[in-house]
Structure 1
């Protein structure tokens, strides 16, 4: 009886706490709609520190706090919150990018503003007048950088979309009087780099539309990306395998140019030719320089640096980040996603690699930034980078045919003072995302050593295996597993999980 009373008491206490925290959200929301932006920032900030808050509201809280910062002229602090809302998959990404573009412009960061305008054009729906305004504003950014031809091209597209916009026509006439003209007449669907622009949909205003849930404005409708049926790479791979088998008894093959080549070389050329248009993007992070309270690691920066070099030799466009804070990891993830989204879905591969401290907590795996301040278990979700929610989910939503996630982060629990639920037994298994290949340095629930040489054992063998030409991704990681098992005396068993369709080769 006493036990039941205690349970009821704690449930009632939690209910009271949750209600009190929701009131903070409501107060912040009411302050925002009343134009009291500093009060909104204070309430939203307090809400985000509460360990038992409803985390499903986090994306909206970050969004409204970002708008509060923006509208109070604190553009620098608005940017991280806008980035957080995009990574948390807010439905209003187009207008968020638009606000980011204007914030960057206010800060004098013109190149970043151009990138944000480009992302806004990609995300927003069809509204010719608003789309014309976006092109016009991006043109002004180009003019600030002295890129008159690009500015003219944007203004020309804007004028084509909305001939009634006299401001755009006036700017266009100015450039034409100065002899600035593009040789090709642009169409509304063409960007300065030849890519397809998704149409914009905002209200007829000179600033982005303010949008939120509940009492705030109605979110813009997002564009549904239509893609053609993917090319069946399996058929080409199968044909290459058949060619390899059929020619196994022949020492030389006559090529179309009349020269001779070995059968394996012919197969390699066939694969290389087929994948020659594939775009490959990688975000590689290595964190070593942790404070003593977390535990300094020797290898991760070396691992990330060396792995990044190997990926570049495999035609990857690589973002390398070492000893990264949470903010740096968040910003890098956003830029990585933007690069992937700007390319053809059927011909794009995205790869994420992390070496450093990692742990599992409440059915989620977390990567530890070097500035993580963890005193209580709930700090993990606030100060560490969630793999499922922030990495894998964003890659799944991105414009890639295949996502590869490699985690050399199964080292010892960096927060031993916390309870066992905070990840004492390495990383946990993750839900499979669409078209994803996930690789771990060791099996779920196990830990791996940091290593004694320049590289950790896992990354050391991974680098060796991806250098071998003609191996599919599955064959590469089988090779890694066999070598790591052998060299660790069967103590470290690597792990991977896959639901990819088609093939991938690091080297041909």
Structure 2
């Protein structure tokens, strides 16, 4: 038995290390792609895919990124193979995949296949204005090369209507075409961003992006082109910066942000009273309200209260406007990982046997993430400060401390107080260490969601003497700002 337990412990350690390494490799490859180091992407993701022990949950994105990289290096047949592989895995960005397939067929002089793929791409991207604009713009260049001016003009007009800044977005994908200039500049004035740094050839813009979940009208995960507002270079005039801030505010002005915040402290003596979660939840709720979230805050909640709060939260997200709704779930309190699921512990949980966990505790993957994904929320943020020691050691001796990494949830950003399988202390001050630094980071304007949690990680590591390493699991491409 001891040998078996030792083997299982070693297996868990290796598995946790593999997940962490795969995540770092994936992030590194994405950074290479954004830097247009396409050969680097091919080399790195080929090595990952050839490793039989790699984390398969990244496969659809690995094939998609490598497929796009192959296109940009002129290896069109290889690109088509990878894009087809990504599609076979039910990839989220079907519009982007079909578009790149059309581009490959065009390069291979397969006009019939290219035209069919362009049509399929537009159908797949019908809820994503930015991607739809890119496809129309690129197909216009295709029509022009084939002497079809009327069709080209129609596509240019459609591209400009969907996104007046499509020319800049297209350039990032290597799509150019001078004929589009007039159509873009004649775009309707009621579009999101009326002026950007991209209109001045002496400046370069960075798109402001918000990621969609698959059930909403989704921004494209691989282009990062959703925001519409852009920022100027350091040399640009200060007055332009004010215009850009105004444009960003215009982008977000109709956005609906809803949050469910739960803090459980008052547990039974057997489970273990926690000092900080009530304060943690209260302080996070305050900061989220300052970031324009409508917050539902409950503390010391029973199972029934948590379930009812989740129902109301889901209703808010479902009723929110498509393309303009963001959901955030925050929890502080006891949590436990059991049978490939993370459970949040209500204050009335009476766990005598292991199978009581599934009946008396609140599953994150099945109840929180799954319900958020069924709504109009374009982006789902889940923050768990629940990575404390196993609260049921007497009845669940085989369960270790900490939470496990959850399955990939489309269009979601999941943040943990510490790495999978690790634990974090409750803290000695008003807040736990993780939430203490989270609240500070949320107060800073101009940080993307990734920058917020990177800052949290850096400060938590420093203050804990490198003992606590926070963990993020993201399926978003682009940026989301708590404060502009």
The TM tier, using the shorter chain, reads: 0.5 to 0.7
Match of 1:479 among 455, 458, 462: 455
Match of 1:463 among 428, 434, 439: 439
Aligned: 1:328 with 2:319? no
Instruction: State how 1:44-193 maps to structure 2 within 5 Å.
Output: none
Aligned: 1:439 with 2:415? yes
Contact 2:302 2:347 in 1 (8 A): yes
Q: RMSD of the TM alignment (CA)?
A: 2.0
5+ long unaligned stretches in structure 2: 1-213
Contact 1:289 1:297 in 2 (8 A): yes
Greater than 6 Å deviation, 4+ residue runs: none
Any idea what the Cα deviations from partners look like across 1:83-108, whole Å, max 9, x if unmatched? Answer: xxxxxxxxxxxxxxxxxxxxxxxxxx
Match of 1:298 among 269, 275, 292: 275
Contact 2:380 2:411 in 1 (8 A): yes
Specify the alignment match of 1:392 in structure 2: 369
DSSP 3-state at the match of 1:346: coil
DSSP 3-state at the match of 2:395: coil
Specify the alignment match of 1:269 in structure 2: 246
Q: CA deviation at 1:419?
A: 3.4
Specify the alignment match of 1:380 in structure 2: 357
TM-score, structure 1 as length reference: 0.51
Provide closer, same or farther for how the CA distance between residues 502 and 252 of structure 1 changes in structure 2, counting only shifts above 3 A: closer
Match of 1:252 among 225, 233, 238: 238
Contact 1:231 1:346 in 2 (8 A): no
Q: CA deviation at 1:272?
A: 1.6
Match of 1:404 among 364, 381, 394: 381
Aligned: 1:449 with 2:439? no
**Larger Rg over CA atoms:** 1
Provide closer, same or farther for how the CA distance between residues 472 and 383 of structure 1 changes in structure 2, counting only shifts above 3 A: same
Q: CA deviation at 1:266?
A: 3.9
Q: CA deviation at 1:500?
A: 1.7
Specify the alignment match of 1:504 in structure 2: 480
Provide closer, same or farther for how the CA distance between residues 471 and 379 of structure 1 changes in structure 2, counting only shifts above 3 A: same
CA distance in 1: counterparts of 2:464 and 2:246, whole angstroms = 36
Contact 1:268 1:470 in 2 (8 A): no
TM-score, structure 2 as length reference: 0.53
Contact 2:314 2:371 in 1 (8 A): yes
Specify the alignment match of 1:494 in structure 2: 470
Contact 1:472 1:504 in 2 (8 A): yes
Specify the alignment match of 1:10 in structure 2: none
The number of residue pairs the alignment matches comes to: 270
CA distance in 2: counterparts of 1:486 and 1:443, whole angstroms = 15
Contact 1:286 1:354 in 2 (8 A): yes
Q: CA deviation at 1:432?
A: 1.3
Q: CA deviation at 1:343?
A: 1.4
Instruction: State how 1:9-28 maps to structure 2 within 5 Å.
Output: none
DSSP 3-state at the match of 2:409: coil
Aligned: 1:371 with 2:371? no
DSSP 3-state at the match of 1:395: helix
Provide closer, same or farther for how the CA distance between residues 288 and 276 of structure 1 changes in structure 2, counting only shifts above 3 A: same
